[in-house]
A and B are shown apart, each in its own frame.
Chain A
Amino acid sequence: MRFTVTVLLALAPLAALAQTVPAPVPASEVFTREEIGHALAAPTPQAGRTMPSAANAPEDDGQWTMPSKNYASTRFSALTELTPRTVKGLQPLFSFSLGVNKGQEAAPIVADNTMFIVTAYPNYVYALDLTRPGAPLKWKFAPKPLPASQGVACCDVVNRGGSVSNGKYIFNTLDGQTIALDVRTGKPVWRTQLGNINTGESITMAPLVAQGRVYVGNSGGELGVRGWIAALEESSGKLLWKAYNTGPDKEVLIGPAFKPAYATDRGTDLGVKSWPPQAWKIGGGNVWGWITYDAELDAIYHGTGNPGPWNAEQRPGDNKWTAGIFARDPASGAARWYYQFSPHDEHDYDGINEQILLDMPFAGTMHKVLIHFDRNGYIYIIERGTGKVLSADPFGPVNSSKGVDIATGELIRNPAKQTRLGQVVSDICPTASGSKDWNPSSFSPQTGLVYIPHENICMDWMNMQVNYIAGTPYVGANVHMKPGPGGHRGELTAWDPVRRGPVWVDKENFPIWSGTVVTAGDLVFYGTMDGWFKAVNARTGELLWKAKVDSGIVSQPISYRGPDGHQYIAVLSGVGGWSGAVVSGPVDPRDGSAALGMVNAMSDLPKYTTAGGTLYVFTLPH
């Protein structure tokens, strides 16, 4: 066999190439925070204390009924048994195999002394009885989503969790259903089919339940799926309204009540006009991240995903209403304001990350704001009533833009990092998955800090012409990711939103793809992709405790009060998601462009962890 000889000779460099992480981007390639951070006014911390309102963050009852803990989305637990002193004794109490070895991104939910978990595809739901030793199974529900839905899940077959409300556990399936189960029996109360996998549509987000409505959005920004958000009646599953994020105003639910803060968002049918003809129909803008309900202003806020295809040269225009954030009327869906984080996005900067609702001092008075940590690298503080940006500061390395013009709200693009057909543009920061992806931050009213789990990754990008074929990827980019300055790929940043800067930063070898939870004992819990579950001091970042679990962690830890009155910490292991697909998916570390270029920065992960999927519950011995 002729080819054998050549192969043997070429082996050595190849083997090295397979699992070597590329060199980090030099620090000189990115802007400093001071260079590109902007605010409408200087910090005025003396004007008041940063807190969520009581309406959005009622007193902690020790349960954890929704992934975000409360409407304000603080993910703050008022329990105090665990402190920097006692946490050293924290021990695993029980574990439970989820029977699915894919990326587990969900938060365990605790209500009425029962724990509910939804797994990655095939989206099993487990209810565990916390009142009995070992938390035995009460019931398991298998929704049996269509197997073909696995082929339209862009970034592993994940699910970000469910919520308990009025005796129902409500969650979504990968093949586009929203299902409400009776918490006592596990039997479906209703099932509503919302998505259609034949167009590439799937659902991976955690539904938001508030005021008798269930809010759901679709995934599919990598398959030319037109993004929408829908509201269902909580009692029946009946569709109440559906708003698209591209297209004519009447389908976006833009009407007389729409009062965006900036001139660029005013006009008729911008969701059509800011695209080439018909392109809005396959233009993305999906709602696969977090929807937030504001009980004070009776509004919902939700980000919109990246425009499709990734190749921006195929869609000249601002591509509204993608890569931005909407405020909508919860009852009708009517849009109130919108702000676009990344007009004509060229780098896959979805706007779907969480928002935390706070009252915060700014320019000498208290303001009702939301804090949003965008993929494009900026922390936005936005006035909830108007959609006006008060400040925008980078929290990781950025060079794809040169800051936000705080007068016009406009992202100032960096022409040097604009993406081009057939040309590799190198060292773009942040990477496609952003300075931070979907995994949520937490806020402590005690420290006044937000705890941001995020990434330090950059990328090389080449645009390629792509055809639209329904149900297949509509991407058109060859991407290779690499570590950002410093070479560490993850960071946990404690950020002071009032003073607009980091208080401390903990570095991680791998990107942090788990959420954080912060407790009244001043502890921050998070997991790492190489399988460590950690507790750090919320005031200093000092590592206080860690435990090794069976697989990397990409989920959302919680803290709850057990039936015995003690504090418990729960988390799912199971590496996966976009960043972990090189372990959980059948993805090959030799192809740097695999998993949309993520593999290039993550090819060594198989050396550190294997696929898994287990619930772990920790407590102090008592």
Chain B
Amino acid sequence: MLALGGCNKGPAADLPASQIGSQAVIDSALIPGLTRSAVSSDPRVAQYYDNADAVNTGKRLFGQYNCSGCHSNGGGGMGPSLMDDEWIYGGRLEQIHQTLVEGRPNGMPAWGGKVPDQQLWQLSAYVRSMSLPATLAAQNGATPSQTPAPVPREADDHAGWSPPPGTTNDYTTLTTGP
């Protein structure tokens, strides 16, 4: 058993999303369209690019830590969809990692210090993989994200990265009537 919100440090620290000492300082590039992030990258991230092991391990952990309970197989439920191309808190690996470490205020638990950091990176890689064109294309049936593609480095090259045009079945752009 793992107690996520069980510690007794007063009401604020008790929240699932309580912020526990953040690690590397990473900020998103606030100006869209920059070819490079305005801030330097976390050096730990490098080994998780193009890493098939990382996404496959991340997939297993996603079930083990009950991420799937809130995010399903990427499509969401109690938590938002992670397989679309919309990121509330940024979609670069290091940003996803930071989301996992710190938790987020609208109900995303904080996992930093509770789950080994390497596993948080593997989870981040799997989460990032969910919306890759290659992962979406591999979907067979109504359960997505079962064969996650490794995360290419260029996916993180700049903040505004999005899949090459015409390569996703992106229902968020166009919905047709009945």
**Are B76 and A595 in contact (CB-based, < 8 A)?**
yes
In the bound complex, what is the Cα–Cα distance between A583 and B137 (angstroms)?
A: 23
Out of A10, A473, A607, name the residue touching B69 (CB < 8 Å). Answer: A473
Closest CB in chain B relative to A462 CB, distance in Å: 10
Of A132-140, A145-153, A441-449, the stretch lying at the interface with chain B is: A145-153
Contacts of A467 in B (CB 8 A): 1-2, 64-66
Contacts A152-B107, A470-B5, A607-B177 hold; do A594 and B167 have CB atoms under 8 A apart?
A: no
A182 CB to nearest B CB, Å: 27
A357 to B25, CA, bound (A): 61
- Out of B4, B134, B154, name the residue touching A472 (CB < 8 Å): B4
Name the residue on A nearest B7 (C-beta). Answer: A198
Query: Of A17, A197, A607, which one neighbours B142 at CB under 8 angstroms?
Result: A17
Within the complex, the shortest CB–CB distance from B49 to chain A, in Å, comes to: 14
Q: With a CB–CB cut-off of 8 A, which chain A residues contact B14? A: 198
The answer to whether A1 and B152 have CB atoms under 8 Å apart is yes
Contact B142 A592, beta carbon cutoff 8 Å: yes
Whether the Cβ atoms of B105 and A147 lie closer than 8 Å is yes
Contact: A148 with B105, CB < 8 Å?
A: yes
Which residues of A from 90 to 126 have beta carbons under 8 Å from B?
none
Q: Does B120 contact A (CB under 8 A)?
A: no
Contact A469 B83, CB 8 Å, known A1-B152, A587-B76? no
B127 adjacent to chain A (CB < 8 Å): no
Q: Which residues of chain A are within 8 angstroms of B139 by Cβ–Cβ distance?
A: 14, 17, 590
Give Cα distance in the complex from A15 to B144, angstroms: 13
Q: Does B15 contact A (CB under 8 A)?
A: yes
> Residue B4 contacts which of A469, A591, A607 (CB distance < 8 angstroms)?
A469
A548 CB to nearest B CB, Å: 14
Q: Find out whether the CB atom of A18 lies under 8 angstroms from the CB atom of B15.
A: no
Q: Across the interface, which residues of A come within 8 angstroms of B177, CB to CB?
A: 607-608
> B169 within 8 Å of A by Cβ?
yes
> B143's closest neighbor in chain A, by CB?
A593
Cβ contacts under 8 Å, A8 to chain B: 166-167
CB distance from A336 to the nearest CB of B (A): 35
The stretch among A71-79, A241-249, A596-604 that forms the contact with chain B is: A596-604
B27 proximal to A (CB < 8 A)? no
Flag whether B51 is at the interface (Cβ < 8 A): no
Residue of B63, B77, B149 with highest tally of chain A CB at under 10 A: B77
> How far apart are the CA atoms of A282 and B3 in the complex, in Å?
13
Contacts A467-B2, A470-B5, A471-B5 given; indicate if A594 touches B105 (C-beta within 8 A). no
A520: min CB distance to chain B, Å: 36
Flag if A151 contacts B107 (CB, 8 Å): yes
| Set of chain A residues within 8 Å of B83, measured between Cβ atoms | 588, 590-591
Contact (Cβ within 8 A) B106 A150: yes
Q: Is B79 an interface residue (CB 8 A)?
A: yes
Could you tell me the distance between the alpha carbons of A594 and B68 in the complex, rounded to whole angstroms? 9
Which of B70, B73, B175 is the one whose CB lies under 8 Å from A606? Answer: B175
In the complex formed, the residue of B with least CB distance to A591 is B75
Contacts A151-B78, A607-B177: A1 and B142 contacting too (C-beta < 8 A)? no
Whole-angstrom distance between the alpha carbons of A152 and B164 in the complex?
35
Q: A18, A473, A478, A588: which contacts B70 (Cβ < 8 A)?
A: A473
Does B160 sit within 8 A of A, measured CB to CB?
no
Instruction: Report B158-178 CB contacts with A as 1/0, cut-off 8 Å.
Output: 000000101111010001111
Task: Determine the chain B residues whose CB is within 8 A of the CB of A3 once the complex forms.
Answer: 132-134, 137, 149, 152, 167
Interface membership of A154, Cβ < 8 A: yes
- What is the bound-complex CA distance between A468 and B175, given in angstroms? 38
Nearest Cβ on chain A to B56's Cβ, whole angstroms: 17
In the docked arrangement, what's the CA distance between A600 and B144, Å?
12
How many residue pairs link A and B with beta carbons under 8 A? The number is 204
Do B66 and A469 have beta carbons less than 8 Å apart? yes
Q: CA separation between A474 and B77, bound complex, in Å?
A: 14
Cα–Cα distance between A150 and B149 once the two chains are bound (Å): 31
Is A455 interfacial (CB 8 A cutoff)? no
> CB distance B69 to A588 under 8 Å?
no
Interface string of A602-616 (1 = CB under 8 A from B): 001011100000000
A222 and B149 CA atoms in complex are apart in Å by: 30
Question: Is A620 located at the chain interface by the 8 A CB criterion?
Answer: no
Give A468-510 as 1s and 0s: 1 = Cβ < 8 Å from B's Cβ atoms.
1111111100101000000000000000000000000000000
* Contact of A466 with B by CB under 8 A: yes
Closest Cβ neighbor of B103 among chain A residues: A148
Interface residue A7 (Cβ < 8 Å from any Cβ of B): yes
Q: Check A11 for interface membership: any CB of B closer than 8 A.
A: yes
CB contacts (< 8 Å) of A153 on chain B: these are: 78, 107
Question: What CA separation (Å) do A596 and B72 show in the bound complex?
Answer: 7
Chain B minimum-CB-distance residue to A22:
B142
- Whether a CB of chain A sits under 8 angstroms from the CB of B80 is yes
For the complex, is A82 an interface residue (Cβ under 8 Å from B)?
no
CA distance A592 to B65 in the complex (A): 21
The chain A residue sitting closest to B84, CB to CB, is A588
CB distance from A480 to the nearest CB of B (A): 6
Tell me if A585 is interfacial: C-beta within 8 Å of chain B. yes
Most chain B CB within a 10 A radius of its CB, from A152, A469, A473: A469
State whether A11 and B4 are in contact (beta carbons under 8 Å apart), knowing that A3-B133, A150-B107, A591-B142 are contacts in the complex: no
Q: How far is the CA of A469 from the CA of B133 in the complex (A)?
A: 32
B109 at the A interface (CB under 8 A): yes
Minimum CB–CB distance from A442 to chain B (whole Å) comes to: 29
Which residues from A are CB-within-8-Å of B123?
none
Question: A549 near B: Cβ within 8 Å?
Answer: no
Task: Give min CB distance, B103 to chain A, whole Å.
Answer: 8
Give bound CA distance, A537 to B87, whole Å: 48
Instruction: Check: A565 CB closer than 8 A to any chain B CB.
Output: no
Q: Is B6 an interface residue (CB 8 A)?
A: yes
A586 within 8 A of B: yes
List A contacts of B3 (CB < 8 A): 469-470
| Residues of B close to A222: CB separation below 8 A | 69, 78
Complex partner residue of A588 from B2, B15, B74, CB under 8 angstroms: B74
Determine the residue in chain B with the shortest Cβ distance to A480.
Answer: B142
A433 to chain B, nearest CB (A): 13
Contact of A590 among B75, B108, B166 (CB under 8 A): B75
CA distance A421 to B66 in the complex (A): 17
In the A-B complex, the 6 residue pairs with the smallest Cβ-Cβ separation, listed nearest first, are: A151-B107, A591-B75, A473-B69, A592-B142, A594-B75, A198-B5
Between A and B, 26 residue pairs with Cβ closer than 8 Å are A3-B132, A7-B137, A11-B169, A14-B139, A147-B107, A148-B105, A151-B16, A152-B78, A464-B63, A467-B66, A469-B1, A469-B2, A469-B65, A471-B5, A585-B80, A586-B80, A587-B72, A588-B81, A590-B171, A591-B81, A591-B142, A591-B143, A591-B145, A592-B141, A596-B72, A596-B77
B-side interface residues toward A, CB under 8 Å?
A: 1-6, 14-17, 63-66, 68-70, 72-81, 83-84, 86, 105-109, 132-134, 136-139, 141-145, 149, 152, 154, 164, 166-169, 171, 175-178
Q: List the interface of chain A (C-beta within 8 A of B).
A: 1, 3-4, 6-11, 14-15, 17-19, 22, 146-154, 197-199, 222-223, 464, 466-475, 478, 480, 581, 585-596, 599-600, 604, 606-608
With A18-B171, A591-B83 given, name 8 new contacts (CB 8 A): A3-B134, A3-B167, A151-B16, A464-B63, A473-B78, A587-B77, A588-B75, A591-B72
